[in-house]
Structure 1
Amino acid sequence: MKNKRVIVIGGAGAIGEAIVELLVVEGAAVVIADHNVDTAAQLAQRLSTGGTVYVAQIDITSEESVAAAFAESTRLLGGLDILVNCAGVIDEVPLSDMPFARWQRVIDLNLTGVFLACREAIPYLRQAGGGRIINIASQVGQRGRERLTHYAASKAGVIGLTKALARELAGERILVNSVAPGPISTPFEATLSEETLRETAKALPLGRSGVPAEVAPTVLLLAGDVSGALYVGQTLGPNSGDVML
């Protein structure tokens, strides 16, 4: 990752933080783009002694905010080589009880935000002569899950977007892939009901959930010049065996 210029959207979250930390350790210059700039700034401060880390505020549901965040981030970095889309939200409710606003919020944050960020990144990656887009999806988008229909739909959409965009851009040396983590022990997961967590844990062949530091290496693999060179439109699954493809 030496001299690579990276934007991690949602980099102040638990999985995002692990990704940022690993990329910085490996030599990348990273912008943590997040709506929570205070948490992002604390992370940047912690990592600044070992690498180059910046912070940019972003609202991934706003075209104007996404454009402004990319303009500021690429100014700080001097360009862009890698985009990691790691922002998102989860919300548990049966479909029959789901207000439209709750559906729309999850779709906006998990899927439309990825579209906006990918679209904004493409001109910068073209200027660099190629690069990587890595979208964080979820195994729920592959297998479905009761009471998480809106979340499953949004993450399945991310996987479909990844495949289609990969076909559009591979000829320009811009490789697009996704990572679909399984259950990961984070505050994000802790918002789910005890019933959902219990059922999920029981179904895992590995017998345990993962932790954020076990997801980040998959992003590093896809981002690497050699290690990620043949991955095009793929979805890799650090998921404790929950989904086997």
Structure 2
Amino acid sequence: MADGTRFEGRTAIVTGAASGIGRATAQRLAADGALVGCLDQAAAVEETVALIREAGGTATAASVDVRDEGSVAAAVESVAGELGTPTILANVAGVLRFAHTHEMEVAEWDLLIDVNLKGPFLMARAVIPHMLDSGGGVITNVASSAGMFGQAFMAHYCASKGGVVLMTKSLAWEYLKRNIRVNAISPSGVSTPMTGHVDFPDGMDFSLIAKTMAVDNKMLAPQDPASLIAFLSSDEASGINGAVIPIDNAVTA
């Protein structure tokens, strides 16, 4: 249940806010009282801002390419200038692909590493100075169950999300004494526009990806990981740092 005072007066930045988990996270943080900077390349990020404002929240949009240092810096400064110093960061932006590794284009490998791993690094790099200036903050990265174990036809995706897991732990240690908490969530399949438009390579053996699905094949709703991100961003989770929390309907149990 949303709490309109949970993040009262605090500024949050959410990447990938145009749809899916990112949009749900931006909406949830705003419903909990945060001033939300909604970042995405897609024009639909303006729809997210409109939905938040219609619900009585405060939000602004900024276009960003999370792969590009200059774009990230400009977007963060834009949000800080309009809404105030960001002390909450949710790195949600990501891309998903399946491929036979021996047929995988190098450009596709680079895309997933750049968006899924370099993106959270660049965002953290840009936001952490603001957090240090304000006395602390919270970063939540979206990893994946595919970053917790090997997954066929997803070498690039697993590598990127596995990197997010260890980057999260590294940052948690590095900023432990500077009042910045860094955690990750590890969702399994989530019903989003991205997962609804995934292409599978010819000849793919679907039995090899069976372990990524829960027994009842239940897909998470975007609001499920969004609620967990909101909790981890709150003072209620003040003792949780460096954690990678599964939200996967027992996939990794």
The alignment's TM-score, normalised by the length of structure 2, stands at 0.91
In 2, Cα distance between equivalents of 1:164 and 1:19: 24
CA 1:129–1:40: 2 relative to 1, 3 Å: same
CA RMSD of aligned residues (A): 1.8
User: Which residue does 2:219 correspond to in 1?
Assistant: 209
Q: What secondary structure sits across from 2:108 in the alignment?
A: helix
Q: Does the aligned pair in 2 maintain the 1:88–1:110 contact within 8 Å?
A: yes
User: Which residue does 1:94 correspond to in 2?
Assistant: 100
In 1, Cα distance between equivalents of 2:112 and 2:35: 30
User: Which residue does 1:112 correspond to in 2?
Assistant: 118
Describe the superposition over 1:148-202 as per-residue Cα deviations: whole angstroms up to 9, x where unpaired. Answer: 0100000000001000010000111100000111111112112143965995488
In 2, Cα distance between equivalents of 1:126 and 1:108: 26
Equivalent runs, 1:52-201 vs 2, <5 Å: 52-190=58-196, 191-193=198-200, 196=206, 199-200=209-210
User: Which residue does 1:243 correspond to in 2?
Assistant: 252
> How many residue pairs were aligned?
242
Residue 27 (structure 2) pairs with residue 21 (structure 1): yes
Letter in 1 for 2:224: E
Q: Does the aligned pair in 2 maintain the 1:201–1:208 contact within 8 Å?
A: no
Q: Does the aligned pair in 1 maintain the 2:152–2:208 contact within 8 Å?
A: no
CA shift for structure 1 position 205: 3.5
In 2, Cα distance between equivalents of 1:220 and 1:197: 35
2:51 corresponds to which of 46, 51, 54:
46
Residue ranges of structure 2 left out of the alignment (5+ in a row): 1-6
Describe the superposition over 1:63-118 as per-residue Cα deviations: whole angstroms up to 9, x where unpaired. Answer: 11111111111111111110110001011101111121111111011001111111
Q: Does the aligned pair in 2 maintain the 1:44–1:55 contact within 8 Å?
A: yes
- After TM superposition, where is structure 1 displaced by more than 6 Å over at least 4 residues in a row? none
Letter in 1 for 2:53: S
Describe the superposition over 1:110-158 as per-residue Cα deviations: whole angstroms up to 9, x where unpaired. Answer: 0011111111111000011001011011110001210001000000000
Q: Does the aligned pair in 2 maintain the 1:201–1:207 contact within 8 Å?
A: no
User: Which residue does 2:230 correspond to in 1?
Assistant: 220
The alignment's TM-score, normalised by the length of structure 1, stands at 0.94
In 2, Cα distance between equivalents of 1:30 and 1:198: 40
CA 1:224–1:40: 2 relative to 1, 3 Å: same
Q: Does the aligned pair in 2 maintain the 1:183–1:200 contact within 8 Å?
A: no
Q: Percent identity?
A: 32
Q: What secondary structure sits across from 2:163 in the alignment?
A: helix
Q: What secondary structure sits across from 1:81 in the alignment?
A: strand
Letter in 2 for 1:239: D
Q: Does the aligned pair in 2 maintain the 1:9–1:34 contact within 8 Å?
A: yes
In 1, Cα distance between equivalents of 2:78 and 2:207: 39
